[in-house]
Amino acid sequence: MSTETPKTHPDFSRPVPIDQVAVEERVARLNRRSIKKQSKVEGLKMALSMVDLTTLEGMDTEGKVVQLCQKAKRPYASLPDLPTVAAVCVYPNMVPVASRELRDTGIKVASVATAFPSGMSSIELKLEETRQAVEAGADEIDMVISRGRFLRGEYDYVYDEIAAVKEACGEAHLKVILETGELQTLEKVRRASDLAMHAGADFIKTSTGKVQPAATQPVTLVMLEAIRDFYYETDRLVGMKPAGGIRTAKQALQYLVLVRETLGADWLTPDRFRFGASSLANDLLMQIVKQKTGVYQDPNYFSND
C-alpha cells in the first residue's frame, strides 16, 4: 500500500439518509416513460456501444477470447453499420490476447484485478496483479472493494486500498466494484459510492456478476445520485457501470432513462456509462433487427461469444 500521506476526505462514518420508498417510486415513475420508434432505435444502438463484453470463467481459453473480440469489433455481420461495443473484459492472463486482437479498434481492454471476485488477498498481491494487467495492455482495471472491512466500518483502510490501486493503474482507468448485493442497505451503497469516488475511482460499478442480487435499478439510482452530488462538489465526472442481471433491451433503455434524468446527456456516452452484461448484447441486436425489418431474427443467428 502507498506510504504517501492519505488524502483528506469526508467522514464516511456519517450516513447519508436514503428514503428507499422514494427511490423505488422514482424508478417506477421513470420506467413508465414511453419512447418513440426513432429514439428507440438510437437508444438501442447507444446501449450496444456501452456494453462491456465479458468472459470471466475458469475454462476461458485464448480461442474464446479471440471469438469474443471478433464479436466486439463486428457485433452482427449482416448490419455492418452497427457500433462496436465499448470494451472486452477478461482475466489478467488473457489481457495480451485481447490487446492483440483489439489493437487500433478503439475498443478498450478491461481486466479484473485485486483478487476478483472475492477481493480476499493482500494489498501487495492486488497491486502486483494490477500492474501486471496494465503492463500487458489493459486500458481499464475493474477492482473489487474489501467488503468485509467496509462492513466492519474500516473506511480508511478501504479508501487507502482504492487509492493505492488507482496509483498502480497509471494511465489506465479504474472501475471500482462495490458488490452491492453484499452491502445490505441503500445507505451503505451510497457510502461506498462516495468513498470510492473520493479515493479516485473513474467509474463505480455495482457488481461482479458472481453475487445475487447484482445490478438493480434502485441501487443504480442511488449510485447515480452519488455521482451527481460528487460532480457538484468536485467538478469531476465519474462514470457508472451496472453489471449483472441486465438481459433485455427494454431493461437497457430503462437504465438509459435513469441516467438521462439523473445526470443528463453528458453521461450518455461509453466514456461515462457502461453495461456489464454480455447476454444483453444479443437481445439488443435482436431488437435492432426487429426495428429495421419488422420481424424478429432467430436468437440462434447471434453468437453467444
Decide if 126 contacts 114 (C-beta within 8 A): yes
DSSP string, 134-153: HHTT-SEEEEE--HHHHHTT
3-state percent helix, strand, coil for the chain, nearest multiple of 5? 50, 10, 40
What distance in Å separates the CA atoms of residue 182 and residue 195, rounded to the nearest whole number? 16
Nearest to 113 by CA among 94, 95, 92, 97: 92
**Residue 205: active-site member:** yes
Tell me which of 71, 108, 139, 142 is the catalytic residue: 142
C-alpha grid cell, residue 156: 480508511
Tell me which of 126, 194, 205, 283 is the catalytic residue: 205
Long-range contacts of 22-29 (CB under 8 A, 24+ apart): 23/186, 23/218, 23/221, 23/222, 24/218, 26/221, 27/217, 27/218, 27/221, 27/258
DSSP run (H or E) holding 173: strand 173-177
Tell me which of 108, 126, 175, 241 is the catalytic residue: 241
Phi, psi values for residue 276, rounded to 5° = -95, 80
Residues serving a catalytic function are 142, 205, 241
